[in-house]
A and B are shown apart, each in its own frame.
Chain A
Amino acid sequence: ILNVEQSPQSLHVQEGDSTNFTCSFPSSNFYALHWYRWETAKSPEALFVMTLNGDEKKKGRISATLNTKEGYSYLYIKGSQPEDSATYLCALGYNFNKFYFGSGTKLNVKP
Chain B
Amino acid sequence: DTGVSQDPRHKITKRGQNVTFRCDPISEHNRLYWYRQTLGQGPEFLTYFQNEAQLEKSRLLSDRFSAERPKGSFSTLEIQRTEQGDSAMYLCASSLVWEYRGEETQYFGPGTRLLVL
Decide if A and B are genuine partners. Answer: no
Mark B residues whose CB is within 8 Å of A.
Answer: none
Mark A residues whose CB is within 8 Å of B.
Answer: none
